[in-house]
A and B are shown apart, each in its own frame.
Chain A
Amino acid sequence: MTVSEQTGSGVGNSEDRKDAGPKLRGSAEFAGDIQVPDMLHGKVLRSEVPSATIASIDTSAAEAMPGVTTVLVGADLAQSDRQFGHAIKDRPIVAHDRVRFQGEPVAAVAAVDEATAEAGVRAILVEYKELPIVATIDEALADGAPHVHDDETRPGLFHGLGSLPDRVGNICYSYGLAAGSIEGTDAEATHAVEGTYRFPAVYQYAMETHTVVADFGANEITLWASCQHPFLVRAEIADLFGLPLSAVRVIVPYLGGGFGSKSYTKMEPITAALSWKARKPVRIQNRVDESMQTSRRHGLKCWMRTTASVDGRLLGRQVRFWLDTGAYADNGPRVCATAGDAAPGPYRWQAVQVNGDCVYTNTSPAGSYRAFGAAHLTWIGESQIEELARRASLDPLELRRRNLLSPGEAVRPDGTGKPLDADLAGDVERAAAAVDWEAPKPANTGRGLAVGVLAAGAHPVSRANVRVDADGQVEVNVGTTEVGQGARTVMAQIAATELGVEVAAVTVQGADTSFTPYDRSTGASRSTTVAGLAVQRAAADARKQLLEAAAGELGVDVGELEVEAGTISATGSRSIAYPKVIAGMFGFSGGEVVGQGEVRPKPGGSGSYAEGPVFWEVCVAGAEVTVDRETGEVTVNKTATIADVGKAINPLLVERQDEGGTMQGLGNALFEEMIFADGVLTNDSLLEYRVPRVADVPAQMQGIIVENADGPGPYGAKGCGEGPQAAVPAAIATALADAGVPMTELPLTPERVWRQMQSTKEEENA
């Protein structure tokens, strides 16, 4: 038996979370809990207007205030490269001559405590000269629209999209995909569905707001940051301040949720700059309104048309979409590309044409949020599938049976990238059965299905070390951020299985870029699949070293050896425990064995987006809803989601991920919406921005795990947790359509649903 075929006690069991103890007892440290000697507290002055030049800033009153030590403005940073952005370097650390969104940092104050810093911020006088604004996608694309940016496009360090095009007006990135002839398919089409759809900006609401402690010393910067991608933050900070990578140290404590909001670089540059000017450590902890203006989901406008033959064979799909990325690109280009990949849906098409643009507006920047792209497009494509089934008088499940891709078929209709690596047809049957698809429906009740795929895994680069200490205990050193998903537990299970030790014997620490091997990022459902594979390889390497040493010690061939409970033995020979093997290697009871593992793109590959994805994350769900004909209120009775994970390293954690994704999907579908009025965010607190509460949990919320060992990760695993966020809104929308209320705009608020029902009534009466 080879090592990779073994699944010992660790992998496949719902082991207890490694981080539960400190999190339950309140001793787990988050960035806001970090105490650094002499630490000051920073607050940010944010622009009150969405678009203006800064005519003047008067900081004298703030500087004179007792307790205020430092006031940072854009002019302080004239010597450094002031623009950052991993995709496009379009974002100043602090605005210097112009502001592009309401909430943009204009100055920052460091003081002895947060209240004093806040008072300092209030004492700064800024004179704005307001400029015309483009507050929406339509305004940004109008003829003669003012440009949000007018300087040259500079690619960031990590756009990962091959060549980055020049900006066209307010469009910072475009996606295009074409295969087959739409005209040709139109000739054959009996049914055509066409519509324009909208999805609003929404807020991730990681409960821990963006929080950074920065200590800018003489020759180095140390950051304790609530960030998902510490190595990318390190690179951007080094680039901004002209330092070698080794002079930037990013330490990541526990994160109080991320969901994409803490991906890439956010509050780290301004905190580092404030510490640089203050010459002391500084902490900046956003409040919720500030975090809402730091990252959000892209709003979307989309036109789509789908055709089918008389017998319900899908023929062609045309998609034209625009994403509102706000004033700075952040992850917009990647979101746009992922949305483009999700637009066709995993069906067998004769012709597809997809064009998407990522558009600047004078609103707060949009970046990553769980299942981006797929969450935007899946509900639209599936709404049209639902409507086509109705017109063709076919069961929507049957229509999907006839048209879904099989494993091995091309997902991108132009044949590029990875073919389908999942049994979608089997998945959708399971989801349908779980919501009692065939059962009679009560009045005003509908059932819906959703099938989609999400380009997942990001860039396939992760490294890991696994250290077996002299006492046989194991330490896993991997850059994955514990953001709540349970990564430390899963990594421990993988290492324990490879090394034949108890999970309890394995420790997994958080990332410290000075000591932790490189990991690209924690996002895109990549940790178990990519970083987990690096851990598996590192543990296997450590095991190999131990076996070789033991073989010498025992005088047998390596092939005859077996490992159990941290002890190596061969049939008919002595056995020898890890501590003794290590003592034998070093000649005394000390030393260690360090295994190394890594994942890189295949030889000659760039690991780029075009080559990818690492895997297609499955987005399949079913739902049952009931609509109140009087009020328009939608109640979700049942949801079923499919965690098509290849191999569930920890089944309970997989279920928990999918339940969390289901509830976020339900919130996005039913009520979550950031409301901007002329570029000003009008619902910037949890009083006005509603997220799901316990009463919103459907009576039946079922997660179904599917294990076909078809993933590229350890033991055939692939990532999970994002699928429901794309599939659940789509299943709710198709269920509502099944109940007679097809919708073209999210969220499905009672008012919107009621208006749709009235307009349907009027049409019927006309």
Chain B
Amino acid sequence: MNRTPTLIKTTINDSGRTLTVEPNELLLDTLRDRLGLRGAKRSCDVQVCGACTVLVDGEPVSACTYLTTETAGREVLTVEGFAEHSEFVEFERAFVKHAAVQCGFCTPGMLLTLKALRDNGELEDEASLEAGLDGSICRCTGYSAILYAAADLAAAQEETG
């Protein structure tokens, strides 16, 4: 088994990074412990709950089970980076309006999952929305507020086209 640390070039929140990473290093640990990006949360550790979700090349991944080496040459977006994007304001508005945030632990992963669904045009269709949010658990809200926010985001996308 290769135990040698490797040097990777990756893009994290729109900035190029060069990192020396262990072959078994998990993206969640890299983000939280090495880069201080603590918006992604640790919860289930088994790729079920979605609290650690970040986007890699625009697709949601569970950072708790994703190797950092796999991000070489790719773009990682965390909630901290997403909050700097202009479209974030729409997400913020929708979540605030419907009180779709309670404890907030699932929120960063939920936002990024919804962004990916919207970018892929999967927000308007009920079945694809349900399938897309299947890996995003929220224990507080009962989900309906998040679905209302998703509907707002789908409508806003249609308007801006």
State the A residues within 8 Å of B (CB): 14, 16-17, 19-30, 32-33, 113, 205-209, 254-257, 259, 285, 287-288, 483-486, 652-653, 656, 658-664, 685-687, 691-695, 697, 701
**Chain B, 67-102, CB within 8 A of any chain A CB:** 78-80, 83, 91-92, 95-96, 98-99, 101-102
Q: Quick one: closest B residue to A14, CB to CB?
A: B99
Instruction: Report which residue of A656, A691, A697 has the largest number of chain B beta carbons within 10 angstroms of its beta carbon.
Output: A656
A113 to B25 Cα, complex, angstroms: 13
Residue of chain B at shortest CB distance from A32:
B42
A207–B99 touching, CB < 8 Å: no
Q: How far is the CB of A112 from chain B (nearest CB, A)?
A: 12
Contact (A28, B79) CB under 8 Å given A659-B141, A693-B134, A694-B143: no
Instruction: Decide if B151 is an interface residue (CB 8 Å cutoff).
Output: no
12 A-B pairs in the complex with CB atoms less than 8 angstroms apart: A23-B107, A24-B96, A25-B80, A26-B38, A26-B80, A28-B104, A113-B33, A257-B103, A653-B99, A659-B141, A659-B142, A694-B136
Q: Which of B1-9, B43-51, B153-161 contacts A (4 or more CB under 8 A)?
A: B43-51
Contacts of A14 in B (CB 8 A): 99
Task: Please name the residue on chain B nearest to A687 by beta carbon.
Answer: B46
**Alpha-carbon gap, A23 to B96, bound state (A):** 11
A626 to B92, CA, bound (A): 37
Residues from chain B with a CB closer than 8 A to the CB of A25 are 39, 79-80, 83, 92
Asked if A257 and B105 sit within 8 Å, CB to CB, the answer is: yes
Partner of B139, one of A20, A206, A209, A656: A206
CA–CA, A693 and B132, complex, Å: 11
The answer to whether B140 and A17 touch across the interface, beta carbons within 8 angstroms, is: no
Instruction: Please indicate the chain B residues that have their CB under 8 angstroms from the CB of A209 in the complex.
Output: 42-43
Q: Evaluate whether A208 and B96 lie within 8 angstroms (CB atoms) in the complex, with A664-B139, A686-B48 already known.
A: no
Check B44–A484 contact: CB distance below 8 A.
no
**Hey, which chain B residues are within 8 Å of A21, CB to CB?**
92
The answer to whether B144 touches A484 (Cβ under 8 A) is no
B63 within 8 A of A: no
| Cross-chain contact B43 with A694 (CB below 8 angstroms) | no
A151 to B80, CA, bound (A): 53
Chain B contacts for A701, CB-based, 8 A: 142, 144
Contact B79 A26 (CB under 8 A): yes
Q: Tell me, rounded to whole Å, the shortest Cβ–Cβ distance linking A489 to chain B.
A: 9
A659 to B141 Cα, complex, angstroms: 6
| Bound Cα distance from A20 to B101, whole angstroms | 6
List 20 other contacts, CB 8 Å, given A208-B103, A660-B102, A694-B136: A24-B92, A24-B95, A25-B79, A25-B92, A26-B40, A208-B41, A209-B42, A254-B103, A256-B41, A257-B140, A653-B99, A659-B143, A659-B145, A664-B139, A664-B142, A685-B46, A686-B44, A686-B46, A694-B143, A697-B143
- Distance, CA A20 to CA B111, complexed state (A): 13
Q: Does B57 contact A (CB under 8 A)?
A: no
With beta carbons under 8 angstroms apart, the residue of B38, B44, B103 that contacts A256 is B103
Q: Note all chain A residues with C-beta closer than 8 A to B104.
A: 19, 22-24, 28, 254, 256, 484
> CA of A266 to CA of B105 in the docked complex: distance in angstroms?
20
Given contacts A24-B83, A254-B104, A659-B145, contact A695 B46 (CB under 8 A): no
Q: How far is the CA of A692 from the CA of B136 in the complex (A)?
A: 10
Q: For B136, what are the chain A residues with a Cβ–Cβ distance below 8 Å?
A: 694
Interface size range of chain B in the complex: 35 or more
B137–A693 contact, CB under 8 A? yes
CA A256 – CA B108 in complex, angstroms? 12
Most buried by A among B39, B83, B99: B99
With the chains together, A687 CA to B138 CA distance in Å?
Answer: 16
Known: A255-B103, A483-B103. A26 touches B39 (CB 8 A): yes
CB distance from B91 to the nearest CB of A (A): 7
The 3 lowest CB-CB distance pairs between A and B, nearest first, are A26-B39, A484-B103, A23-B104
Q: Known: A257-B103, A257-B105. Contact between A207 and B38, CB under 8 A?
A: no
A128 to B156, CA, bound (A): 62
Is B133 on the interface with A (CB-CB < 8 A)?
A: yes
Pairwise interchain contact B133-A694, C-beta atoms closer than 8 A: yes
Q: Kindly list chain B residues whose C-beta atoms are within 8 Å of the C-beta of A257.
A: 102-103, 105, 139-140
How many Å lie between the Cα of A207 and that of B147 in the bound state? 19
Q: B61 at the A/B interface (Cβ < 8 Å)? A: no
C-alpha gap A29/B49 in the complex (Å):
20
When the two chains form their complex, are residues A256 and B143 in contact, meaning their CB atoms are under 8 A apart?
A: no
| Given A663-B143, A694-B130, A287-B45 contact (CB < 8 Å) | yes
A16 in contact with B96 given A25-B83, A26-B108, A485-B102 (CB within 8 Å): yes
Give the docked Cα–Cα distance between A687 and B98 (Å): 30
* Distance (whole angstroms) from the CB of B89 to the closest CB of chain A: 10
Q: How far is the CA of A284 from the CA of B69 in the complex (A)?
A: 27
Q: A694 CA to B113 CA in the complex, in Å?
A: 13
A660 touches B95 (CB 8 A): no
Tell whether B123 is near chain A: CB-to-CB under 8 Å: no
Contacts A26-B79, A256-B105, A484-B104 hold; do A205 and B139 have CB atoms under 8 A apart?
yes
B133 touches A207 (CB 8 A): no
Instruction: Report how far A17 CA is from B91 CA in the complex, Å.
Output: 15
Residues from chain A with a CB closer than 8 A to the CB of B55 are none
B44 CB to closest chain A CB, in angstroms? 4
Check B106 for interface membership: any CB of A closer than 8 A: yes
Hey, which chain B residues are within 8 Å of A685, CB to CB?
Answer: 44-46, 48
- CB within 8 Å for A694 and B146 given contacts A26-B83, A33-B38, A207-B137: yes
Instruction: Provide the residues of chain B in CB contact with A24, threshold 8 Å.
Output: 79, 83, 91-92, 95-96, 101, 104, 107-108, 111
Interface-centre pick from B45, B136, B144, B147 (highest chain A CB count, 10 A): B144
Tell whether, in the assembled complex, residue B139 and residue A207 are in contact, meaning their CB atoms are under 8 Å apart.
yes
Among candidates A29, A656, A697, residue contacting B102 with C-beta atoms closer than 8 Å: A656
Contacts of A659 in B (CB 8 A): 141-145
- In the complex the two chains form, is A23's CB within 8 Å of B43's CB? no
Mark interface residues in B99-128 (1 if CB within 8 Å of A CB, else 0).
101111111100100000000000000000
